[in-house]
A and B are shown apart, each in its own frame.
Chain A
Amino acid sequence: MIIAEGKPIKEILAMIDAYDKIIVAGCKGCVTVCSAGGEKEVGILSSALRLARQTQGRSLEIKEVTLERQCDTEYLEPMREYADQYQAILSLACGAGIQFVAEKFRKHPVLPGVNTQFIGVTEEQGVWTERCQSCGNCVLDRTGGICPVARCSKSLFNGPCGGSKGGKCEIDPQVDCGWQLIYERLQELGQLEKLEIVLPVKDWSTSRDGGPRKRIREDLKI
């Protein structure tokens, strides 16, 4: 899923400073699962914003809403019923959701309530870690199911580099060396010989380097 974290309240207060009637819009997708922008976070953030405004001696009217998803048109439509009564929309969805709201609600400034961070997993309760950089050209079959693009700090294809020590990356003793993980996994699988092959120069055109990406399934189009 896409992992995000709430922006600091000070930053949000500065963003909404010019408004006294806003919508705080959560999303029931990824940001709910990673506790960054679901119904609960909409409630907590709205209370905090009201309180902060009260201490400034200013009022703030908030419409709290949590949409099924913000990355699909149909789930955005219900907001039209009340959107005109508010000056701005603070979205707690991922960057894709925030932008889609901005595209569909053209009269409203749409503001980000979260920082979208990465595609990752719930490693344990309250801990999310990155797994995929969506490069568009998966090599996991060659690297024991562990991604060198996302897990190696230098995205090396023929690691580990000289900075791998005790299973950790040179950038931080808390960060696992992605290539040590690949090595151990291939060892477990009895496939260490895979590491003898030089992985070739990567085609990054399928990644963001090829420009904004688009996927079309003609058979599904209406």
Chain B
Amino acid sequence: MKAGSNLEKILSSGGFAVTGELGPPKGADVSVIERKASLLKGNVDAINVTDNQTAIVRMSSIAVGAILQRMGLEATMQMVCRDRNRIAIQSDIFGAYGLGIRNILCLSGDHQKFGNHPTAKNVFDLDSIQLIQTVKLMRDEHKVLGGDEIEGVPAMFIGAAANPFADPFEFRVIRLAKKVAAGVDFIQTQCIYDMDKFERFMQMVRDRGLHEKVHILAGVTPLKSVGMARYMKEKVAGMEVPDEIIARMKGAGKEKSREEGLNICVEQIQRLHKIEGVHGIHLMAIEWEDAVHSIVERAGLLPRPQV
């Protein structure tokens, strides 16, 4: 065991993991976290806590991660390179470990242009792959980047993201290989709607033998409406939504669109489960946490293993 987290135990024992996601409040209201967490409890093995996603200021992922741990849930702290230099990053990793957090997801971070502070200065002292190297260095070699020995090792289970739908497509698996070479333990992918393309991506992953070196969790997000499907297709960079999905959402009509979104999601999970090298799903039910239980249940993934 590298970190001994619940997520690591499930993945290393060959289990099919289910992770969820929680977006912190745009303020200091802890009840928002408690409400969302209660909907995820028992349905997922670990909960990603986003780090000021889309560059909108929210409660910090470390703080929310610590609150989840206190509630008896397991957090995966997301950490972006946009807002901190290597000094703050390493300091925050020590702090997060001290507060009980055992999983970290290393990300570059959305550009601040999208957020509510577009005039901010960004940092990007490290990139996501260098962040993976940094956490691994701290965990396995007991050193900080500057070379000093550390007092107490932050034994983190190291994750990163992969987007099979960004360009250039052929390079996506190479970039994944770089993350593996940097020392990542698990990968969570961007939301998948184009299953055929994801299957092609996974074939390339297997061709390189990467599926044996890293646990890949396939990202899924249930659609609420045809409008959301269209928005994802047209407005979100690096997201692909096939026309057949849009047609299904449209065909369901307004009243049944949520139900159809859940159906699509459950079907996807069942298909993903069969793909060699997919070791779990990362379920991002954005502002729809109450859908998580039924999705996971219908997908046949309950109860979650106790390890």
Q: A interface vs B, CB < 8 Å?
A: 153-167, 170-172, 177, 180, 183, 195-196, 198, 200-202, 204
Contacts and interface: CB of A to CB of B under 8 A. Distances in A.
Given A170-B238, A201-B145, A154 B108 contact: yes
Nearest to B163: A162
Interface string B50-62: 0000000000000
B167 A166 contact: yes
Given A163-B237, A166-B167, A183-B171, A198 B178 contact: yes
Nearest to B81: A154
Contacts of A170: 110-111, 114, 237-238
Given A154-B111, A158-B178, A163 B130 contact: no
Contact of B130 (A158, A167, A171, A196): A158
Contact of B111 (A153, A158, A160): A153
Interface of B: 81-82, 86, 108-111, 113-114, 122, 124-130, 133-134, 145, 161-163, 166-168, 171, 174-175, 177-178, 181-182, 190, 237-238
Contacts of A198: 129-130, 133, 178, 181-182
Given A183-B171, A201-B130, A201-B145, A162 B190 contact: yes
Contacts of A196: 174, 177-178
Nearest to A197: B178
B118 to A, nearest CB: 10
Contact of A156 (B127, B166, B167): B127
A162 B182 CA distance: 18
A198 B137 CA distance: 15
A204 B111 contact: no
Contacts, number: 91
Nearest to A161: B108
9 residue pairs, one from A and one from B, having the closest CB atoms:
A162-B163, A170-B237, A158-B129, A156-B127, A163-B237, A162-B238, A162-B166, A171-B113, A201-B130
A165 B178 contact: no
Contacts of A160: 166-168, 171, 175
Contacts of A164: 166-168, 237-238
Contacts of B134: 201
Contacts of A172: 113
Which one of A157, A164, A180, A201 has the highest number of Cβ atoms from chain B below 10 Å of its Cβ? A201
A207 to B, nearest CB: 11
A167 B127 contact: no
B165 to A, nearest CB: 8
A151 B127 CA distance: 15
A17 to B, nearest CB: 27
Contacts of A195: 171, 174
A112 to B, nearest CB: 20
B167 A161 contact: no
A162 B54 CA distance: 13
11 contacts: A155-B124, A156-B128, A158-B130, A160-B168, A162-B162, A163-B166, A180-B168, A198-B129, A198-B133, A198-B182, A201-B145
B129 A163 contact: no
A204 B162 CA distance: 27
A159 B175 CA distance: 8
A163 B239 CA distance: 9
Contacts of B168: 160, 164, 180, 183
A161 B113 CA distance: 15
Given A195-B174, A198-B181, 15 more contacts: A155-B124, A158-B127, A158-B175, A158-B178, A160-B167, A163-B237, A164-B168, A164-B237, A167-B167, A170-B110, A170-B114, A183-B168, A198-B182, A200-B130, A201-B145
A158 B106 CA distance: 13
A200 to B, nearest CB: 7
Given A153-B111, A171-B113, A161 B171 contact: no
